[in-house]
Chain A
Amino acid sequence: MKSRLLSVGFMFLLTLCFTAMVSAVKVANQDRIQRNQELKLERIILKVLRFGTGRVSDRELSELFKTRIRKKEVEGRTLYLGLEADGRTLKGIAFPVGGPGFWGPIQGMVGLDREGLTVVGLAFYSHSETPGLGGRLTEDWFQNQFAGLKLPAGKEAGPIFELIPSGRTKKPGQLDAITGATMTSKAVERFLNRELAFFRDKLRPQAGEG
């Protein structure tokens, strides 16, 4: 009985000790981790709006973001308006997109030109797809194909873009799917079309003002 009590007491003490250590480490690094998240978002927004921030330091990045990007809430979504060097003319609009992938939610950012009718950049920053297959959606070749994609003005029936197996001849609006990742490709096609249409119909009209 006494030994059992001793065991419990020991465990309790030890748990307390280590929990305290871990918590201390967490608290000490919390701000930094938060900052990293923010930086990641800023970097991606600047990337899809083609600000050319490939090798820029974190501080310069934040500076750039502060002066050249303005947030705007429209229909419950956050739009990021990119401004030219004069700080007033609109350069482009970035908006976050998200939807279910095959294995988990996928999140990305789409950058459009100032008219909001042509895509200038696209990047996915969070996903749980299979590495080497669906996971290839973050690769440059896949993301860069969206640059130049036009959102047809006026609500036409039909998807804004299609992902079809590579190797087939393509009409405008048809992009390469990821070979061997049919599920991920289909999922991206589905939610991204929906998001782009939503932007064109609901967000774009209100984006330019103010």
Chain B
Amino acid sequence: MAKTPSHREIFISGLWRDNPVLRQVLGICSTLAATNLMVNTLVMNAGLIFSLCMSSLTVSLLRNVTPMRTRMMVQVLIIASYVIMVDIAIKAYLPEISEALGPYVGLIITNCIIMGRCEAFARNNPPLASLVDGLAVGLGYALVLIAIALIREPLGFGTLLGFKVMPPGFTPWTIMVMAPGAFFALGALTWLIRSLFPQTTGLAEGGR
């Protein structure tokens, strides 16, 4: 059993060195759809970070009493419960955004990141460390998605958070708010980061 790394190490690792999206390309499914508007991205990511932190914490708290064979089901139950609570909360307090996000909030449950962190970390580490890990990974993930939204919304709508940021006379690149735009933005971003910060990672490519 490896020694639990310090909180600081955990934080930096999740946020940057082993950034879930840029290094491991995980869990982009559900949130990529929201990146055409910055406000949607922020809400989605807040929901994800909450679910991730709470799930990691809970899984860690229960790690010594959870029977081996029920491990997966327990994780799914915990994650799903928190995500449903987030979904209800968004529906209640941010109805327009809830409509724009549609089923994607619920799909946070299947987001490989949450399941991955529970399985890889929270299961074997104390609660506070797991919370820090969840927070770090969540923030690292959020940063990347915010970066994508920073590309998509201004170019595609000419606005950022609803405020016009492009010079008048700018014709919006509508393609950026449609599906291909998201792929191009993320692909370009990944390329950029990898060329600026090359790193021989010990992780299998795209593998969990």
Q: Which residue of A lies closest to B73 (CB)?
A: A11
Q: Does A153 contact B (CB under 8 A)?
A: no
Q: Mark A108-140, 1 if CB is under 8 A from B, else 0.
A: 000000000000000000000001110000000
Q: Contacting chain B: which of A22-30, A81-89, A197-205?
A: A22-30
Bound Cα distance from A29 to B89, whole angstroms: 7
Bound Cα distance from A33 to B178, whole angstroms: 29
Q: Does A32 contact B (CB under 8 A)?
A: yes
Given A15-B77, A18-B81, A132-B174, answer yes or no on A10-B66 (Cβ-Cβ < 8 Å): yes
Is the CB–CB distance between A25 and B89 below 8 Å? yes
Q: Which residue of A lies closest to B180 (CB)?
A: A132
Bound Cα distance from A95 to B66, whole angstroms: 56
Is the CB–CB distance between A14 and B89 below 8 Å? no
Is the CB–CB distance between B84 and A22 below 8 Å? yes
Q: Is the interface of A mostly helix, strand, loop or mixed?
A: helix
Q: How far is the CB of B68 from chain A (nearest CB, A)?
A: 8
Q: Does B107 contact A (CB under 8 A)?
A: no
Contact partner of B92 (CB less than 8 A), chosen from A19, A29, A40, is A29
Is the CB–CB distance between A22 and B73 below 8 Å? no
Given A10-B65, A11-B70, answer yes or no on A29-B88 (Cβ-Cβ < 8 Å): yes
Q: Does A6 contact B (CB under 8 A)?
A: yes
Contacts of B73 in A (CB 8 A): 11
Is the CB–CB distance between B67 and A132 below 8 Å? no
Bound Cα distance from A84 to B113, whole angstroms: 55
Q: How far is the CB of B41 from chain A (nearest CB, A)?
A: 15
Contacts of A3 in B (CB 8 A): 67, 69
**Which of the listed residues B69, B88, B91, B178 has the most CB atoms from chain A within 10 Å of its own CB?**
B88
Contacts of B85 in A (CB 8 A): 21-22, 25
Bound Cα distance from A36 to B88, whole angstroms: 12
**Which of the listed residues A10, A18, A21, A133 has the most CB atoms from chain B within 10 Å of its own CB?**
A18
**Additional 15 contacts, C-beta under 8 A, given A14-B77, A22-B88:** A3-B67, A6-B67, A7-B69, A14-B74, A14-B78, A15-B77, A18-B77, A22-B81, A25-B84, A25-B88, A32-B93, A33-B95, A39-B95, A132-B178, A133-B178
- Residues of chain A touching chain B, judged by Cβ–Cβ distance below 8 Å, are 3-4, 6-7, 10-11, 14-15, 18-19, 21-22, 25-26, 29, 32-33, 36-37, 39-40, 131-133
